[in-house]
Amino acid sequence: MIKRIARIREILKSIDADGIIAYSPENRRYLSGFTGSTGYVIISQKYAGFVTDFRYTEQASSQCEGFEIIKNESPLSEYLANTIKKYGISKMAYEDSYMTVGFYEQLKDKLNGIEMIPLKDAAGEIRIIKDDDELLNIKKAAAIADSAFTHILKLIKPGISEQDISLELEYYMRKNGASGNSFDSIVASGLRSSLPHGIATEKEINNGDLLTLDFGCVYNGYCSDMTRTIVVGKASEEQKKIYNIVLNAQTEALLHIKSGVLGKDIDKIARDIISKAGYGDNFGHGLGHGVGLAVHEEPRLSLLGERVLEKNMVVTNEPGIYIPGFGGVRIEDLVAVGDDGPVIYSKSPKELIEL
């Protein structure tokens, strides 16, 4: 935490601020170590405080090493403002992408002229490159998801519903060390597999269905994310064709995930393969995104991905083809960026599985 606080203090200097208030779950945990649901991190160039209510003061005292623990009562904005003033902050950075307008107005009113500077994505910047402990947590989350995929393959058959699959995935991951899902599992079968974010329904699996499973879990606060598409029964020639195009795009893009490469250039590799095969209009999302304390964060592998990848960033690689009236295929791995190539965390097989 000492290193992280030092980094945020450097960022504050770069945006001409002398303090920050952070309370988005990801930044709060990253900066303080607090795992509860309510708390406010206030950091100046000299002080670090954690404001929370009676429910969490004991927990914060044990988790937030180096922080002054401040128990707040109502009104919250007054306690926060008093701490900000006590720490001598005159220009305070705030999470403008997270703070509501209502809360902003309440706090601004109590600060009596202290300048509020929008943080934009500055706090998220320090979370992009993962340290060794973060990588281990993400790797473990990916391993739990891989194990869940192996488990669920034994249960999938005609007649089972998408919701049954979704619930079993979550139960299995929780039973094997996860604290929960990193997002609502996507379980989309048959014609519904053309929906990139087809959340599970009561639809039953039929013989011949494409079945897309996109899921992940949270381990020690860190997320995983993977997708596999299978065929229940024997795959048709058209299903095999679409699958192999996506697999080729995913494999080729994977080879180029390394330090020094632009996110948009990796996206282009997969996109060009799919476009040359005649399905460019059926691949409408970016190739990938960063994963960490949040399941969607920087960097982006997309047409707009201008960031150069660096070692120990963690990203997904997930091209897809989605054809209304036919179905869809997506294949996704979770990988860490290495100097010479990807460190692949998703170990589940990618060759077409026919159940």
Domain range summary for the chain, segments of one domain joined by +: 2-125, 132-344
Cβ atoms within 10 Å of 237's Cβ, excluding its own: 7
pLDDT tens digits, 262-316:
999 999 999 999 999 999 999 999 999 999 999 999 999 999 999 999 999 999 9
What is the C-alpha to C-alpha distance for residues 284 and 272, in angstroms, rounded to an integer? 13
- Looking at domain 2-125, its CATH superfamily turns out to be Creatinase/prolidase N-terminal domain (3.40.350.10)
- What phi and psi values does residue 207 have, to the nearest 5 degrees? -60, 130
Q: Helix, strand, coil: what percent of the chain each, to 5?
A: 40, 25, 40
Please tell me the predicted confidence (pLDDT) of residue 300.
96
Report whether 20 contacts 123 (CB < 8 A): yes
CATH, domain range 132-344: 3.90.230.10
pLDDT(125) > 90: no
Quote the mean pLDDT of the chain: 96
pTM passes above 0.85: yes
pLDDT(237) > 90: yes
Report whether 275 contacts 321 (CB < 8 A): no
Give whole-number Cα distances, 149 to 144, 184, 239, in Å: 9, 16, 21
pLDDT tens digits, 145-203:
999 999 999 999 999 999 999 999 999 999 999 999 999 999 999 999 999 999 999 99
pLDDT(121) > 80: no
pLDDT tens digits, 309-331:
999 999 999 999 999 999 999 99
Give whole-number Cα distances, 184 to 7, 180, 216, 227, 354, in Å: 33, 10, 9, 13, 25
Please tell me the predicted confidence (pLDDT) of residue 122.
74
Residue 259: what residue type?
Answer: S
pLDDT tens digits, 333-348:
999 999 999 999 999 9
Length of the chain equals: 355
Q: Is 144 helix (H, G, I), strand (E, B) or coil?
A: helix
Calculate the dihedral angle through the C-alpha atoms of 131, 132, 135, 136, rounding to the nearest 10 degrees: -150
pLDDT(212) > 90: yes
pLDDT tens digits, 60-82:
999 999 999 999 987 899 999 99
pLDDT bucket at 126, cuts 50 / 70 / 90 = confident
